Structure 1
Amino acid sequence: MQLSKDGRKWRIGAAAEVEWIAGHTTAGTSITTAIPPIFDAYATTHQPDGVTVAAYEHALVQDLTAQTPEQPWWLAYLDTGPHDIVFPRGPRVSLYWNWPYVLIEVGPEQALTWRTGHMRHGDGSLPDLFFPADRSWLVSALWDDTWTCLGGPEPLINTLQQNPLANTRRVRPDEDALPPGLTRE
């Protein structure tokens, strides 16, 4: 299925595109609640104090883009009702606890421009979940978390850790993903 936006037709994803995630996470407080235990390295990231949402999100996407060969990205927007999901009439895929997401195959530039506000940062634009077509990394922010989880190759996590705007903290798969100084809702 394809839907139109910005004068182009975009491929809408189905369950097959997220089957590698669905059913492969574990309930709890570890990073594997959001990210399947298939990556070399794991980390959490969140907007640092004193940094704008735009600067934080641009830093994250810039580092992800720099560490990823050119290819399409899958962006997924969680349908919570009041929050922008970009394609409100698009079909949904279920992830985690049967949460409905709209999944679109696009590029990294759409990750920073399509959404107008989301639940973690009122004026942010990032999707709730995104990954490149080769599935070399996964970024996922669960509905009730104020931070974002990611899994990927060691060099990617190292790059993100070196960028103060990305505010990235490495975690082990069995470790509580809650970043220091934040609380659970």
Structure 2
Amino acid sequence: MQVSKDGRSWRIGAVADVGWIAGHTAAGTSVTTAIPPIFDAYATTYQADDVTITAYERALVEDLSRYTPDQPWWLAYLDTGAHDVVFPDARRVSLYWDWPYVLVEAGPEQALTWRAGHLRHGRGSLPDLFFPADRTWLVSALWDDTWACVGGPEPLIHILERDPLTTARRVHPDEDALPPGLVRE
């Protein structure tokens, strides 16, 4: 299925495009609730109080882009009925606990510009889940979390940790993913 936006045609994803995620996470409080346990390293990231949402999101996407060769990214928007899924008439794929996502093949620019506010921040634009076509990393923020979990290669996690705007903290697969100072809703 193709959809149009910004004068271009975009491919809507299917179950096969997220099969590597679906059914490969486990309920709980660890990073592997959102990210399959297939990566070399993991982290959590969130917008700190003294950083604007725009600065945080741009820093995160720039860090991911610097690490990733030029290729499409898959952007997934969770359909809660409460926030923008960008393509409301597109088919959904199910992830986690059969949550419906609109999955579209686009890129980092669209990740920063397509959405006009979402549940976690009430503002901002990032998709709820996104990853490059080569699946070298995955960023996922679950429905009611105010932070995102990241899985990827060790060097990428190190880049995120060193960036003061991303507030990234390395976590182990069996460790509670809740960042210090934040609370679960």
The bucket for the TM-score relative to the shorter chain is over 0.9
Alpha-carbon distance, 1:36 to partner:
0.1
Q: 2:170 aligned with 1:170, yes or no?
A: yes
Equivalent residue letter for 2:179: P
RMSD: 0.4
**Matched residues in 2 for 1:24 and 1:107: separation?**
24
Provide the C-alpha distance between the structure 2 equivalents of 1:181 and 1:121, rounded to a whole number of angstroms: 16
Partner of 1:137: 137
- Give the alignment of 1:84-99 within 5 angstroms: 84-99=84-99
Report the AA paired with residue 139 of structure 1: V
- TM score, norm. by length of structure 2: 0.99
**In structure 2, the residue corresponding to 1:112 is in which secondary structure?**
helix
Shift of 1:96: 0.2
- Counterpart residue identity of residue 122, structure 2: G
Query: Is there any run of 5+ residues in structure 2 with no aligned partner, and where?
Result: none
Task: State the partner residue of 1:12.
Answer: 12
- What are the equivalent positions in structure 2 for 1:3-152 lying under 5 Å apart? 3-152=3-152
Q: Give, in angstroms, the shift of residue 49 of structure 1.
A: 1.6
Q: Secondary structure at the match of 1:145?
A: coil
Report the Cα distance in structure 2 between the residues aligned to 1:15 and 1:4, rounded to whole angstroms: 21
Structure-1 separation of matches of 2:88 and 2:27:
28
Normalised by the size of structure 1, how large is the TM-score?
0.99
**In 1, distance between residues paired with 2:107 and 2:33?**
26
1:135-163 superposed Cα distances (whole Å, 9 cap, x missing partner) = 00000000011110000000000000000
Residue aligning to 2:156: 156
Question: What is the identity, as a one-letter code, of the residue corresponding to 1:32?
Answer: T
Asked if the contact 2:82–2:119 (Cα under 8 Å) also holds between the matched residues in 1, the reply is: no
- Secondary structure of 1:170's aligned partner: strand
Deviation string for 1:43-77 (max 9, x for gaps)?
A: 00000121100000000000000000000000000
How big is the shift at 1:123? Answer: 1.4
- Unaligned 5+ runs, structure 1: none
> How far is the alpha carbon of 1:82 from its aligned partner?
2.1
> Which whole-Å CA distance do the structure 1 matches of 2:5 and 2:49 have between them?
34
1:105-130 deviation per Cα after TM superposition (whole angstroms, max 9, x unaligned): 00110000000000111111000000
Q: Is it true that 1:181 corresponds to 2:181 in the alignment?
A: yes
What is the deviation of 1:180? Answer: 0.4
Percent sequence identity is: 77
Runs of 4+ in 1 over 6 A off after TM superposition: none
Q: Distance in 2 between matches of 1:52 and 1:36?
A: 30
Structure 1 distance, partners of 2:99, 2:70, is 29
Distance 1:122 1:23 in 2: 29
